[in-house]
Chains A and B, each alone.
Chain A
């Protein structure tokens, strides 16, 4: 018999906390409820157009410089690294097509997604987390404003709308990086470069890229909002919310990338 206090075994007096496995399922259920609430709140009036526009601007503005830099470098480096393999077969003229397809199909959505996860996801997680622990979300609630609609729905919608735009912007900037490399090495003109790269891009590539960007934007924002909205334990909780927002979003982006590639390759074949 175990140690007893008040004639009850100690094991019976301490409330059982769910194990890690059960906790994982509980969290999954909570995320499911959170996403369900987003769809319910986002598309029912009253609409928060002003806040939505502000968030679109914030998300685009926050990521634009970093995306421009990394997009340009990626295009440039990818072209430089691909040249030796292609030149072995005397196919350097295929460089524009290769870069165009690679950027649009995978590099641009993935790169933009990862940068946005770090820049936007962490910012959303920290901002909402800080608002939660300092009772600003409760303050919104008691002043007859639906904080979920105002804070979560607008951010998720804004990220979902903005990500495809950012993705095509990254692809365009990446192409400029590639163009620089190609024109220096092969002396290709901009018109020839864009003609040959755009020729190889199909509507399916554009659809795949847009779908991934929408999915990544939604994931980044919903994860950031979920972590921030449910944060606790003061400043430590805010840090954890920001950290989890980035790590979870990046992990999910890679999984979604794999799933999307599999699905769209079925259409390609």
Chain B
């Protein structure tokens, strides 16, 4: 079956994330060096790279879980490492983060997992409104029947979906997906890719998708940025990146099953 590459979004010059000259090292180990990247409103940008190249570090810096050593990280008009903790919490309401291992609260049911961010951040909502939001999100990810289940009773794919639903419930403007298809079978991965595209269409989000799965990159990315040797070597559509004959991008493509 052919995998259809996603088209780039209509030209939109409004940047929702702007990264310039970003540097990050852990001790002597340099992860990101002079990395620059922009995310435009409404697009899905896929960040591709081998394991351990700093892809997850990048989005953890964007959400403020890690501090950059130097460089500019501007998210929705806020310079992430310059704002106060309260401002950072407010910014996080506008930026959703979907974890690689879903990070569901394992002592809570699916319903309580989804309620948690809403109850804590939207105190104006009534119990009924919270319930209907939870039901709507579960419906959006196609898992209404799991509402009373514990995370340990869910499959890997279901956990990913619930993780995305929990992130979406706050209606963020930006979604950050960390390896959304890692550890999933090809069929479930395809469902997740479809979900990422549905989220973009239905909730008009902009997104950064971190992955090393080329199928995911091709299906979900309006644009692709290739992270090689600590910075973004090549950016463009999937075809622009992989039909370029770039000696740094090509081996990554050659070894993937998409060939």
Contacts and interface: CB of A to CB of B under 8 A. Distances in A.
Interface stretch (A78-86, A133-141, A172-180): A133-141
Nearest to A141: B65
B56 to A, nearest CB: 10
Interface string A110-151: 000000000000000001001100111011111111100000
Contact of B121 (A127, A134, A143): A143
Interface in B49-95: 63, 65, 85, 89-90, 92-93, 95
A146 B65 contact: no
B28 A15 contact: yes
B245 interface: no
Interface in A149-195: none
Given A135-B99, A139-B99, A139-B103, A144 B90 contact: yes
A143 B114 CA distance: 11
B117 interface: yes
A141 B65 CA distance: 8
Classify the secondary structure of A's interface with B: helix
Contacts of A134: 101, 103, 106
Interface string B100-132: 110111110000000011001100000000000
Contacts of B97: 139, 142
A142 B167 CA distance: 9
Interface residues of A, number: 16
A144 B103 contact: no
Interface in B182-197: none
A5 to B, nearest CB: 14
A143 B106 contact: no
B120 A138 contact: no
Given A144-B117, A145-B117, A139 B105 contact: yes
B171 to A, nearest CB: 12
Contact of A142 (B63, B100, B105, B107): B63
Interface of B: 27-28, 63, 65, 85, 89-90, 92-93, 95-97, 99-101, 103-107, 116-117, 120-121, 166-167, 170
| 4 cross-chain pairs, A with B, having the tightest CB-CB distances, nearest first | A143-B117, A139-B103, A135-B103, A142-B97
22 contacts: A130-B106, A135-B99, A135-B100, A135-B101, A138-B99, A139-B105, A140-B105, A142-B92, A142-B95, A142-B96, A143-B116, A143-B117, A143-B120, A143-B170, A144-B93, A144-B120, A144-B121, A145-B117, A145-B120, A145-B121, A146-B85, A146-B89
